[in-house]
Structure 1
Amino acid sequence: MPAGLVISAPASGVGKTTLTLALARAWRNRGLHVQCFKSGPDYIDPAFHAAATGHASVNVDSWAMDRATIAHLVSRGLDADIVLAEGSMGLFDGVAARGVSGTGATADIAEMLGWPVVLVIDPSGQAQTAAAIAAGLRDYRAGVRLAGVVLNRVASPRHEDLVRCALNDAGIAMFGALPRHAEISLPKRHLGLVQAEEQAEIGKLIDEAARFVSEHVDLDAVLRSAAAWSVQPAANGLNVTPPGQRIALARDTAFSFVYPHMLEAWRAAGAEILTFSPLADEAPDASADVCWLPGGYPELHASKIAANARFRNGLRAFAETRPVHGECGGYMVLGTALTDADGIRHEMTGVLGLETSFAKRRMHLGYRLAALAAPMPGHQVGARLRGHEFHYSTIVAQPDTPLAVVQDATGAVIAETGSRRGHATGTFFHLIAEDR
């Protein structure tokens, strides 16, 4: 029977991903089968998990998914020795209004699955107060169990001793303390970490993280703190309808933000995925019956996309007879033009009238609930879709027919409605699940 743990923290940027990757690789190096998950809407971290463990990682999300879907997804860990779920933001951070099975907080997943929490705490600028924070998180919600604490970025042995004594007085286990170590810092950009597939040395970095953490953290104590668990997977699996039987999927460093569970669900339903690279000037496969452009970083490659005539012409021809859908960055590329951060305007494919700009960045972030006013690939009029939006672009023009009435997690209607023209549709949010 596997054992499960949640890796969380009081806030973002404390070191959850680094510790998760290090633990996963260190235990894998010992011969254990490690399975990772990501709590919340993150399209980047699962690829790092896969690099560390050798096994695909997927997202579990209490705002967008019901308990049956979450049970189905985590059932892949039943043959593992240890399961690690990496949290998002702080342990209890979610939205104000409850979604399908929770608020999207990591604590929801910890309580739902009965997995204890290992807290990563950065005590920079404090000492005993770090123990007070840990104690407050331990006592905040009765159904969430704290396994112990790993300190990150401690300044000195004296600093470590002060925090360790305070944690001991509070009855909280301390598994170890990590000094500052620049060699295991993961590079970042505006939407989070630089993608694993863009880092040629990612394996060496994870190995170094595993070595470093093994020196400073009691891996056996962490492993003993995990809780044995079992789950009955839902008989009906994921509530995901593939957009077509043969799906032309844009897939490269500019088009990579797609939730792994979506692709798995499409394949499980019998769909065939035919990948192509717009950056390599490839057109969608002519034998496909639908084309899907995920989000990613088109703003970093806008000039190349604009110059790739074979891709742009091939997509336009495809959209004349068959459905094409774009999410976020993919939606922007389906539009007329994209202005980059330097104020340079680049022509996109023009199958939709959308025009966006990164010249004046404004963050758009949060859960989205969309009621479709028109069909899109895989979903009919009236379908209620749950997703997440995260980008820095602004709408210059969105002249086409709105695709949906879109609300944020508070129920407020937002302007990012998505749009439809002919066979083409697009949304700013990334689809996670359809309401059952």
Structure 2
Amino acid sequence: MAAALVISAPASGVGKTTLTLALARAWRHRGLNVQCLKSGPDYIDPAFHAAATGRASVNVDSWAMDSATISHLISRGADADVVLAEGSMGLFDGVAARGVSGTGATADIAEMLGWPVVLVIDPSGQAQTAAAIATGLRDYRAGVRLAGVVLNRIASPRHEDLVRRAMSEAGIAVFGALPRHAEISLPKRHLGLVQAEEQAEIGKLIDEAARFVSEHVDLDAVLQSAASWSPQPVVNGLNVTPPGQRIALARDAAFSFVYPHMLEAWRAAGAEISTFSPLADEAPDASADVCWLPGGYPELHAGKIAANTRFRSGLRAFAETRPVHGECGGYMVLGAALTDADGIRHEMTGLLGLETSFAKRRMHLGYRLAALAAPMPGHKVGARLRGHEFHYSTILAQPDTPLAVVHDATGAVIAETGSRRRHATGTFFHLIAEDR
């Protein structure tokens, strides 16, 4: 049996990730095995979870996944002492239209699993009102149970006392209060946190967060508030078909956004994955039967990608006879050109005609449901794929045959259809699951 909790908040930017990492590392220092999960489509946080726990983390998503898939993914916590599911945005924030098993809200996961919620509350600029917010979150949905709160960015002892008194009057447990401590905040970038592998000092940063939280939060009380959980037998596991038997996967600082559960599912289905680095001017494995370019930050490395002739020529040779697929940043690299934030145009691989620009930032964000008009690696015509799109590029040209009819979470048709040309395909969304 594991102690299971959901870490959530009223909004983004309150400190969910920092608290999750700190709790995980603090309990790990006590000799406990901690398994983390990420509710929602964020592809960066699971790497931080792994750095904190030494165990791979995965996303669970109620909009894109059915309950059997979610149950299969959380079963990795069967041998853990503590399981922490970190939420995204605010506790009840999701899309307007229900997906496979919910709206993508953290509350869906908490209710589905029966795990109590620890709220991170930032009462900056307020005092007793923080208790009103916590009370509203506690009472908003009957199936979601609040374990208590951790106060973050407390200004002074008087401030803490006012908030604690109000929480007590509302019947809400306060597990601890964190004074303002900017040194433990994690660096940010326009798609969220800077990736864990980009931070050489990530271990020290998490250790400092664990020390800080241990001094100010009652770790025993938090554990005692958790649900006792053990996985239930799962009839069906992941519904994922690998794109090929031998997969050449681009993997470096420019190509890093791929959901961990997808790679695990490919391997579980018997596929072999060989990685290569376009930034190191490496070509895909010539013995592979498919090449996959994930998303990432190609705009930060566009000049180097354009100059790496061995990668570009090797990928073009590969695509002469075998399928190549790109997601988001990988799709952009498969295109004709990418213009960076400084307005400099860089020639890409030219396997597709797509041209994109970061000179004028335009955010594209949200869930995507794609009905394939043509096959792509691992998926047939007519397949309904669920994914998530998040980037700041503008489409200058998308001349090739559309790959799919793509809708957002409200059902509206969007222009980011993806493309196909000969053996090359690409999408702006990152694949999460296929409808059963």
Is the TM value for this pair above 0.5? yes
Give the deviation of 1:183 after TM superposition. 1.3
- CA distance in structure 2 between the aligned counterparts of 1:230 and 1:67, rounded to whole angstroms: 16
Per the alignment, residue 375 of structure 2 pairs with: 375
TM norm structure 1: 1.00
Give the deviation of 1:235 after TM superposition. 3.1
Aligned-partner SS, 1:136: helix
Cα pair 1:38 1:59 within 8 Å, conserved: yes
- CA distance in structure 1 between the aligned counterparts of 2:280 and 2:299, rounded to whole angstroms: 16
Q: Provide, for residues 383-436 of structure 1, a one-character-per-residue CA deviation record: whole Å limited to 9, x for no partner.
A: 000000000001000000000000000000000000000000000000000000
Give the deviation of 1:232 after TM superposition. 1.9
Cα pair 1:68 1:233 within 8 Å, conserved: no
Q: Provide, for residues 324-376 of structure 1, a one-character-per-residue CA deviation record: whole Å limited to 9, x for no partner.
A: 00000000000000000000000000000000000000000000000000000
Q: Provide, for residues 135-187 of structure 1, a one-character-per-residue CA deviation record: whole Å limited to 9, x for no partner.
A: 00000000000000001001000000000000000000000000111110100
Give the deviation of 1:234 after TM superposition. 2.2
Overall identity of the aligned pairs, in %: 92
Gaps of 5+ in 2: none
Give the deviation of 1:236 after TM superposition. 2.8
- CA distance in structure 1 between the aligned counterparts of 2:422 and 2:54, rounded to whole angstroms: 42
Structure 1's consecutive aligned runs of 4 or more residues displaced over 6 angstroms after TM superposition are none
Cα pair 1:364 1:390 within 8 Å, conserved: yes
- CA distance in structure 2 between the aligned counterparts of 1:16 and 1:232, rounded to whole angstroms: 27
Cα pair 1:366 1:409 within 8 Å, conserved: yes
- CA distance in structure 2 between the aligned counterparts of 1:186 and 1:10, rounded to whole angstroms: 19
Give the deviation of 1:134 after TM superposition. 0.1
Give the deviation of 1:78 after TM superposition. 1.2
Q: Provide, for residues 40-83 of structure 1, a one-character-per-residue CA deviation record: whole Å limited to 9, x for no partner.
A: 00110000000000000000000000000000000111111110
- CA distance in structure 2 between the aligned counterparts of 1:234 and 1:43, rounded to whole angstroms: 25
Aligned-partner SS, 2:172: coil
Cα pair 1:281 1:310 within 8 Å, conserved: yes
TM norm structure 2: 1.00
Cα pair 1:88 1:106 within 8 Å, conserved: yes
- CA distance in structure 2 between the aligned counterparts of 1:5 and 1:430, rounded to whole angstroms: 27
Aligned-partner SS, 1:120: strand
- CA distance in structure 2 between the aligned counterparts of 1:313 and 1:124, rounded to whole angstroms: 54
Give the deviation of 1:231 after TM superposition. 2.6
Give the deviation of 1:293 after TM superposition. 0.2
Give the deviation of 1:237 after TM superposition. 1.1
Give the deviation of 1:229 after TM superposition. 1.6
Per the alignment, residue 129 of structure 2 pairs with: 129
- CA distance in structure 2 between the aligned counterparts of 1:104 and 1:359, rounded to whole angstroms: 31
Alignment pair present for 1:51 and 2:61: no
Aligned-partner SS, 2:55: coil
Give the deviation of 1:230 after TM superposition. 2.4
Superposition RMSD in Å: 0.5
Aligned-partner SS, 1:175: strand
- CA distance in structure 2 between the aligned counterparts of 1:10 and 1:19, rounded to whole angstroms: 14
Per the alignment, residue 193 of structure 1 pairs with: 193
Cα pair 1:186 1:193 within 8 Å, conserved: yes
**Further displaced range: 297-306 or 227-236:** 227-236
- CA distance in structure 1 between the aligned counterparts of 2:382 and 2:92, rounded to whole angstroms: 32
- CA distance in structure 2 between the aligned counterparts of 1:4 and 1:142, rounded to whole angstroms: 19
Give the deviation of 1:106 after TM superposition. 0.1
Alignment pair present for 1:269 and 2:269: yes
Q: Provide, for residues 287-318 of structure 1, a one-character-per-residue CA deviation record: whole Å limited to 9, x for no partner.
A: 00000000000000000000000000000110
User: How many residues matched?
Assistant: 436
Per the alignment, residue 30 of structure 1 pairs with: 30
